[in-house]
Structure 1
Amino acid sequence: MTDPVLTITDASLSLDGNAGRVDILHDISLDVAGGETLGLVGPSGSGKSSLLMLMGGLEQATSGKITALGQDLTAMNEDQLARFRRDNMGVVFQSFHLIPTMTALENVATPLELAGARDAFDRAEAELQAVGLADRMDHYPSQMSGGEQQRVALARASAPRPRLLLADEPTGNLDETNGQAIMDLLFTLRDRHGATLIMVTHSGALARRCDRIVRLRDGRIDTGVVRAAE
């Protein structure tokens, strides 16, 4: 394994809910190598998405330490985390999270503009072409199918050329045909930008394409890190 781009050390996560404090993750330790594709799998409620959120600084660990690209995420405030994600990470969610009042091109260009890229719209156009949406750039999310919206979300995540690409059930809301297309695009974008890809998935087909699998159960790593099936 090459030097890790992401290291989790004894990380736990607890959240306060209506019924009191809920312990979600327990003493997770994990290294992710540069250029690796890692699949997070396990039953519903096992903590997969919560672990991905910790990796992206979208949730703060209750205890432990998370280091990404040499930076301690657990020592950052919200503004610092937002800047770190903007400059280094792309995140793809199951439910797309596109801005409904913006066209596909504007959705993809927005993070580039926030990062100060002068060629934001040129790069956004190139990314939309790369995901097969050259003829849909001026369409709004409501005018696109679920598969097309997820392609826009992939283009938006990859346009800043992130070193870390995080995907939470990227095929979960799609039919089999669109799901397969999104799988292929994820790996194409990973290779195009040389990113490290970490994804949560219930899809056995998608998990088998990963270099390694981490299985979670009840907020703990279950069988450890195992090599994915060929």
Structure 2
Amino acid sequence: MTEQAETKTTVLSLSDVQLELAGNAGPVTILRGISLNVEAGETIGLIGPSGSGKSSLLMLMGGLERATGGDMIALGQNLGAMSEDALARFRRDNMGVVFQSFHLLPTMTALENVAVPLELAGAKDAFARAREELVSVGLGARVDHYPAQMSGGEQQRVALARASVTRPRILLADEPTGNLDGVNGQAIMDLLFGLRDRHGATLVLVTHAPELAARCDRVIRLVDGRIDAEAGAAGRPAEGAA
């Protein structure tokens, strides 16, 4: 057990991270001094009431938003010091992001949507790998369908395949079951954790679903832009998870 503890690698390190955005009535403080370390292979659930800063924190971790204070380190790289182009390359090579609203390109088939990140990375076998990933999420028969021809659950499966096809070291998911019914939500949960296990990725997810939070190694509750509580064992989310 001691050896395992010594070989842990921190993949995300946040130190006094703050986020302030411009609002109509003046600056709005979203995050107020978040300090947090996430280890390789760990699964973190971010919970809390609406407006507590969960999604904003996830976007900072993915370099999709820039902190206005503190340090945001991912895989040893200071995200705040990177240019937009460097951030885009870093995400492409190291991260997969799943959004609640899928964000699929409507004019592309499922196969083309999943192949996009591989093509951007210059992979010659982009379409073969994309097809393989779609098969792994149960969509082998839907590769040539467009998003409008698929159900919400199927579109989220495509989004999962796209996020995982590059074998990212960090997988970020923002309310991945939020737009789905109970049956499809459960299926997406199983697929998400299956992809994590298969690829060995570190997973950070935002959720309001207690059953999804309960499957995480650690659950962190945010209130008013601050870490309010934390639980450290799978199946025991922080009090007040909703």
TM-score, normalised with respect to structure 1: 0.98
- Asked if 1:195 is matched to 2:195, the reply is no
For residues 1-230 of structure 1, the aligned pairs below 5 Å read 2-224=8-230, 226-229=232-235
- Whole-Å Cα distance in 1 between the matches of residues 55 and 231 of structure 2? 17
Output the CA distance in 1 between the equivalents of 2:92 and 2:188. 23
Q: Which amino acid aligns with 1:23?
A: T
What SS is found at the alignment partner of 2:141? Answer: coil
Deviating 4+ runs (over 4 angstroms): none
Determine the C-alpha separation between the residues in 1 that align with 2:230 and 2:70.
18
Aligned length: 230
SS in 1 for 2:179: coil
For each residue in 1:90-113, what CA deviation from the matched residue of structure 2 results, as whole angstroms up to 9, or x when unmatched?
000000000000000000001100
Q: Deviations over 1:19-76 (max 9, x none)?
A: 2100000000000000000000001100000000000000000000011111111111
The CA RMSD over aligned residues, in Å, is 0.9
Cα distance in structure 2, aligned partners of 1:46 and 1:66: 19
Q: Could you tell me how far 1:225 is from its partner in structure 2?
A: 5.1
Residues in 2 aligned to 1:128 and 1:135: alpha-carbon distance in whole angstroms: 9
Separation of aligned partners in 2, 1:223 and 1:229: 15
Superposed CA offset, 1:105-140 (max 9, x none)? 000001100001111001000000000000000000
Structure 1 vs Structure 2: percent identity of aligned residues? 73
Gapped regions of structure 1 (runs ≥ 5): none
Amino acid paired to 1:219 = G
Change (3 A) 1:141 1:128: same
Equivalent in the alignment of 2:240: none
Aligned partners of 2:106 and 2:99: how far apart in 1?
15
Distance 1:65 1:182 in 2: 33
Gaps of 5+ in 2: 237-242
